[in-house]
Amino acid sequence: MSWNITQYKYKWTLNRLAQGICPDCGGEMDRVGWRCSKCYIELKKNINKRREKLAADGRCIDCGKENDTDNLLCSSCSEEANKRNRSRYQRRKEKGLCVDCKEKLPDDYTHVRCEDCLERANEASRKSERKRRNK
């Protein structure tokens, strides 16, 4: 088997994490994930900055190409995102996890979301319902 650079980097990253070292800055890991909280916040900030700039330019915040919709994502990216969401939804549902936050649901639970997320989803759908009616 030949190793490409992505696989190598992946292994290296896992190795670092196993030692409790942040792969980004080499500092101590203080959270569960792929990088320490400092790097995580930095990463989020950079992603947000990039997205804000793209959105202001009328570009898709995902691929950066000319946006052909009124949303933040272009039509092909939003289709991709929908597909991804659907398969994530299915996977979580099959495992008996809340489809939103991955919390383990009780065995005799009948919803696909935990109570918190259910509440939030209801609230969101009530809002969009109101919006639709006001149009």
Q: Which residues bind Zn ion (CB under 5 A)?
A: 22, 24-25, 27, 36, 39, 60, 62-63, 74, 77, 98, 100-101, 103, 114, 117
Closest distance to Zn ion from the beta carbon of 22 (Å): 3
How far CA 5 is from CA of 8, 13, 17, 32, in Å, comes to 5, 12, 18, 24
Separation of CA 77 from chain center: 14
Closest distance to Zn ion from the beta carbon of 1 (Å): 31
Q: Which is nearer to Zn ion, 14 or 25 (CB)?
A: 25
Q: Which is nearer to Zn ion, 55 or 103 (CB)?
A: 103
129 class by beta-carbon count within 10 Å (0-12 exposed, 13-18 middle, 19+ buried): exposed
Closest distance to Zn ion from the beta carbon of 123 (Å): 13
Closest distance to Zn ion from the beta carbon of 80 (Å): 8
Q: Which is nearer to Zn ion, 58 or 134 (CB)?
A: 58
**Sequence-separated (6 or more) residues with CB below 8 Å from residue 101:** 114, 116, 117
**Torsion angles phi and psi, residue 4, rounded to 5:** -90, 175
